[in-house]
Amino acid sequence: MHKRVLVVGGGIAGIQASLDLAEMNIEVYLIEKGPSIGGRMTQLDKTFPTNDCAMCILSPKLVEAGAHPYIKIITNAELENIAGQAPYFEATIIKKPRYINEEKCTGCGICMTKCPVKIPDEYNKGLSKTKCIHIPFPQAVPAIPIIDKENCLYFKKGKCRNCEKFCEMKAIDFNQKEEIIKIDVGSVILALGSEEFDATLKDEYGYKTFPNVMTSIEFERILSASGPTQGHILRPSDGKEPKSIAFIQCVGSRDMQLGNEYCSAVCCMQATKDVILVQEHLSGAETSIFYMDIRAYGKDFDKFVDRAKNDYQARFIHARISSIEVNPDTEDLIIQYATDEGKIKREEFELVVLSVGLVSSGRIKETAGKLNIELNECGFSKASSFTPVSTSRAGIFVAGTFSGPKDIPETVMEASGSVSGASSLLMRFPVKEIKEELPQEINIEGQPPRIGVFVCRCGINIAATVDVPEVVKYASTLGGVVHSQEFMFACSQDSQKSINEKIKEKNLNRVVVAACTPRTHEPLFQKTLQASGLNPYLFEFANIREQCSWVHQKEKDLATQKACDLIRMAVSKVRLFNPLSKSTLAINKKALVIGGGVAGMVASLDLANQGFGVYLVEKEADLGGNFRHIHYTWNGEETQNFLTTLIQEVKSNKMINLYTKSEIKEITGYVGNFKTLLADESGRKKEIEHGVVIVATGAEEYEPTEYLYGQDDRVVTQRQLEEWLGVSEERLAVDAEHHAPATDPLASNTGHRQLDIHSQLQGKNSQIMTSNPRVLNTVVMIQCVGSRDEERPYCSRVCCSQAIKNALKLREFNPKLNIYILYRDIRTYGIKELYY
Amino acid sequence: MGDNNKAIVVNELDFSFREEITSQPGGENIKRCFNCGTCVAGCPITEIDEEFNCRRIVRQILLGMREEVLSSPAIWLCLECYRCYARCPQKVNFTDIMRILRYLAIKGNYVPARTSAQIEDLDRFIQEIRCSFIKHTFKPEEKIAKEIKSKIDQKLNTIKSYHRGESIPLSNGRGINENRKI
């Protein structure tokens, strides 16, 4: 067998994992239960906190996964079983019939225009109709339709067969049967995802009873240019623009009545994003978010919330509502809530959006059961704090919301993390050699420029501001341009096909795409050129989105003029281009990891396990960083043994060169070939060479100047409290052992370390720290000290959990202790909520 | 309820109070309260009288404000409709907690022993009046209107006589002592 991994689930987690693996020349089988890869991200309009277009980030990845020689996508398929043990698994997959021959279908779409049956469009959450034979969404990969058997006239009544009659490729196959596929793989990544909470279970909110109550995912479709209202916010009862919209948070989350005690971790920011987008779509509409705690715990999230409040006039109301009532005359919705002062308020809204949480569905649990994967009390894959991308079964990894609610950036990080685990199991297998077959490059020497200009509407991202047909017309008048046209989405797979056809049909020898940013999309179009026989460097990008339509939303005419200018410049530039060829440069396959905390050590070990040499540099004498001060986790896991083992593994790994008490003096060079100058404490210098750098330098605990800190012994930081509790716990354990003969050698080690920590604490709060926590009667914890203020306008995201963890530990010492936590929002996001 | 702006002095609080409530059947989940206000938002009494605020009572219990809670007339305002419990995301059974509070208020001599029966009696009376009103709304009849008026007058007189120290005839014909046994 050669290096091969099975990835289950074609959402952003599975796609990112597949692409990472494929880049390492590892063969990937990516299986997806639906007819296209893409997952929930395809249905989102924008992503928080940057308001990037979700589809624009995803679409190039869809195309890349669809075209990558190392990725084999099997859609409409479910995982039945995984037999064997790592790295010798045998996966059984059931591929359900699509009733289309995927080899023959070109995705032309004629079948869809001829199909007489309309069915609710799942992609738009049933808010619009699609055909019984349909492609789930325009950018679908593969761009091949599927027949909905339940509704098909032929399957129901034995007649019609319109699609079959009109398909020129003879791709319709009503006799297709379920197929069982068996694949040998070395490791598995499960990216099964999650589902939205079914809002009908929260009946007091009237979802499905009152027409103007919708879910947050339905609202995403309403906001989206590719949605049922083409991005116009219209309410379902009368198709009018709502003047006031309420968002109800924690629908199906943090709710014991429904058995979902955890926080869904994304809804606060989703609603914040939505209130901002509402202003962009419907200027002047009033928006209100009813919340319990705003969980803006991620990077720049608090700034995003402040923007929504200050620049977009959104009201954030700290209240959970009891029910939603309706005004039967207007179909407006009545919400009664209690203010923090205890006043009852009653308001009417024209539209209500329920922020539905993420849940593990029966189907997901069933798959986990078949695979023997342990789930936690919330129905998500059980993971330890120290191995978050592992499952209970060795060799099977996890990424994304299958292991708990999380947002897209964290999902993508986990995907890459799981790839690191999955690939390190494949060291013994050879790489499968695949030669990409590209057509012979057309020699354009001596040819006059024949330029094709392709202008993207990007849904409404560009087209709502820039007059795209006008720009296309203008482009056709430019010197050397022999073809110009527009696309709804230039990045979709069918658009690539269309560009390819035009290159051949019109003998194009230069291409300009006027769309978004070359940062994400240039490689995609260059590949299309290559596949059409053109040198990939005969291409130029004109960014008429970020540099035009997005920044000139209010000056439409000028924006159109600017788009024309940008295209004219691109055309003038591309006219002068000559073919370029790549040459290979040797790269250094060693990595520099800066920082010997847990992040740096785990990164070093993962790299080493994949066969790469590592230079690990730590400025202190000991490894461990901040983690040395963590004595227990919120869910009661042992920390210091984990750290000791980790340090031992790092120190004994021959691939890792460790430099403690050392600092970086200078880094020169470039990607693939860096030179770094290290200096140790005595100033001795050493030069190392490496290809990449991982920065894991960590952060420090804020040292307060407020609340008598440093002036009164009794004021300590949470970390100092934790140190004290950790040490006290060990001391009490040692004391208990003194009554029995201490034969365990670990016991004396423990006592030794305790002394070390004591000496570290000397001089600072020494009096309180040497006493027994049992003497305490009352403890007050003050949150957000040094966070969420003007100087540091962000949430430090660990303090709420740390306070709760320490409060629970204090209670272990003294069950009668009184603890007060003074907070603004408790941010125990995800399943940490269980400990709140 | 007292002055909302008055500072609460931690050392004057009775921390055993919340443990006492927690240990009673129905009171188990009170410490789970995370202050969301769902109970208040849906309460049919708060809608009429904002002095009654179940969230505030729960917070007072958790802080240990035994005196304030048990001596307050607010704990007798609850209708026991269980809406707060049905909608509470943390399953705090406020209605049963209210029963515990009323029992403790009587046991601790914060109110006369008969208060419980009096409130029960009043509730029954109000239901009676309510039914009459609803019927009257659908089909206004002079007879019903007169009946309502006379019932209210009767009730007001009963309450007056109770404050003069006379015994209270309950509407089901049983005396207070008898009723308490039940």
Cis peptide preceding A136, ω within 30 of 0: no
Report strand pairing: A351-356 vs A244-251: parallel
d(CA B97, CA B101): 6
Q: Which two tokens stand for residue B99?
A: 């029963």
- Residue A738 pLDDT: 63
Q: What is the mean pLDDT of each run of 10 residues along chain A (836 residues)?
A: 96 98 97 97 95 92 92 96 96 97 83 94 95 93 93 94 90 96 97 96 96 97 93 95 98 94 96 96 96 95 96 96 96 96 95 97 92 95 93 96 96 97 94 86 92 92 94 96 94 88 95 88 91 95 93 94 97 95 91 97 95 96 94 87 96 96 95 96 94 96 92 91 87 68 40 45 52 83 95 94 94 89 93 86
Q: Which residue of chain A is at minimal alpha-carbon distance from B39?
A: A322
Coil vs helix vs strand at A287:
strand
Task: Give the closest of B15, B41, B46 to A319, CB-based.
Answer: B41
Report strand pairing: A286-291 vs A315-318: parallel
- The set of residues, in sequence order, having a beta carbon less than 8 Å from that of A276 and lying 6+ positions away, is A51, A304, A307, A308, A312, A314
Check CB contact under 8 Å for B91 and A256: yes
d(CA A175, CA A164): 12
Task: Give the closest of B15, B55, B83 to A338, CB-based.
Answer: B55
Q: Which of A713, A696, A707 is nearest to A770 (CA)?
A: A713
Q: Which residues of A touch B86 (CB under 8 A)?
A: 257
Coil vs helix vs strand at A566:
helix
What does the CA dihedral A596, A601, A602, A605 come to, rounded to 10 degrees? 150
On the question of pLDDT at B147 being above 50, the answer is yes
- Residue A763 pLDDT: 44
Single-letter residue type at B121: D
Task: Give the closest of B41, B53, B83 to A321, CB-based.
Answer: B41
- Best B33, B38, B81, B84 residue to mutate vs chain A (most A CBs within 10 Å): B38
Residue A4 near residue A27, CB atoms below 8 Å: yes
- Residue B4 pLDDT: 53
Q: Which two tokens stand for residue A656?
A: 């890792």
Q: Which residue of chain A is at minimal alpha-carbon distance from B14?
A: A818
Task: Give the closest of A204, A816, A826 to B87, CB-based.
Answer: A204
Residue A71 near residue A112, CB atoms below 8 Å: no
- Grade residue B165 by pLDDT with cuts at 50, 70 and 90: low
Q: Which residues of B touch A256 (CB under 8 A)?
A: 32, 89-91
On the question of pLDDT at B166 being above 80, the answer is no
Gap from B117 CA to chain A (nearest CA, Å):
29
On the question of pLDDT at B180 being above 80, the answer is no
Cα A215 to chain centroid, rounded: 21
Beta pairing partners, A7: A30, A189
Q: Which residues of B touch A826 (CB under 8 A)?
A: 34
- The set of residues, in sequence order, having a beta carbon less than 8 Å from that of A342 and lying 6+ positions away, is B4, B40, B50, B53, B55, B56
Residue B66, CB half-sphere, CA atoms under 13 Å: how many? 16
Overall pTM > 0.95: no
